[in-house]
Structure 1
């Protein structure tokens, strides 16, 4: 299959997954290259040994994370939607540790792989609700209190600010050329 065909089929899969379950797929199409740069801007990858990506979808952020990470960096990728697993495996192979599970089980995944410290968490997760949101937020807070950098994006800052009012997040960036435009928030 040609690269162009792969890209088209990934976009089609992304769209189908959004239509099938919009609360589980954060967007209608994968993020742009400009957006991937925006979410990682300002991170000193020379100081990063363990990275966790939550909800990578088809791996747009993953590709840029791998490009910027130094050799030997452990990259743990947690994706709940099984239809993305083959794409992630095909694209990144043994460069990532791929787990098909929920983000709220992050601590279990890290223990499974003997990882205690996380330097960077990048989230492509949609807005979560209820008990799962509380568990994911608490897990992220536990890590950020120990110095982990956290980055995530939103298409709707006013809603996000209300949803995450308990977390000490701050605006890091804005990417107007992504479709739709998005804002990057995080905790350092």
Structure 2
């Protein structure tokens, strides 16, 4: 253990969360359009995600844009023992960090959300029960966002849920013509407040 880490722990600092924040800020500075925020998820946001996706009832979950892994750890804590979580990110630094999470239920894949079907096939995974996403739809071209949304909907299992948590409501406008209107929740204790948009695929 380094001297700095030891001092932080003695002072009661959550070293993992502090390290996540530093890594996330670096990721934002390097790729602002892909990361979309200067700070990682809060505990309030992480708890809300686990509830909105109904993690305990899900067997196969896909996370798009896990960043430094705060939401990934939270969802893993809520999943069953035999569930699988596929975390997909384009940022190699985030992928390296995610790969340090020692959990046999976790599959980490560097790749793009628009190749979801191919990545699922590559890992021999069935149609997911849940796909949730923190990637910023507001910063990508409209055509790219629509393609990702359509790919997610096609990949989902019947009765599955797509949930996007966003600061802006661009994803709602993008998805309206394809998926209809979502159910919306907000986490006011997150800074800034976060909206959760969810669509359920018919059985």
Please report the TM-score for the alignment, with normalisation by the length of structure 1: 0.88
Matched, 1:62 2:72: yes
The separation in 2 between residues aligned to 1:78 and 1:60, in whole angstroms, is: 14
Contact 1:144 1:187 in 2 (8 A): no
- Which runs of 4 or more aligned residues in structure 1 lie more than 6 Å from their structure 2 counterparts after TM superposition? none
* CA-CA distance at 1:73 after TM superposition: 0.3
2:186 match: 174
Are the counterparts in 2 of residues 39 and 173 from structure 1 also a CA contact under 8 Å? no
Which of 1 and 2 has greater Rg? 2
Pair 1:138 & 2:178 matched = no
Matched, 1:89 2:105: no
Deviation at 1:148, TM superposition (A): 1.6
CA distance in 2, matches of 1:41, 1:175: 12
- Whether 1:165 and 2:176 are equivalent positions in the alignment is yes
* Distance of 2:54 and 2:106 partners within structure 1: 20
Shift, 1:130, TM fit? 4.3
Judged with a 3 Å threshold, the aligned counterparts in structure 2 of structure 1 residues 97 and 169 are, in CA distance, closer, same or farther, namely farther
For 1:100 and 1:36, locate their aligned partners in 2 and report how far apart those are by CA, in whole Å. 22
Which residue is equivalent to 1:154?
166
Structure 1 residue runs of 5 or longer lacking an equivalent are: none
1:101 alignment partner in structure 2: 111
What is the TM-score normalised by the length of structure 2? Answer: 0.82
Deviation at 1:5, TM superposition (A): 4.0
RMSD: 2.0
Deviations 1:133-159 (A, max 9, x none): 2321111121347322111111123x4
1:16 partnered with 2:30: no
Any gaps of 5 or more consecutive residues in structure 2? none
How far, CA to CA, are the matches of 2:78 and 2:136 in structure 1? 24
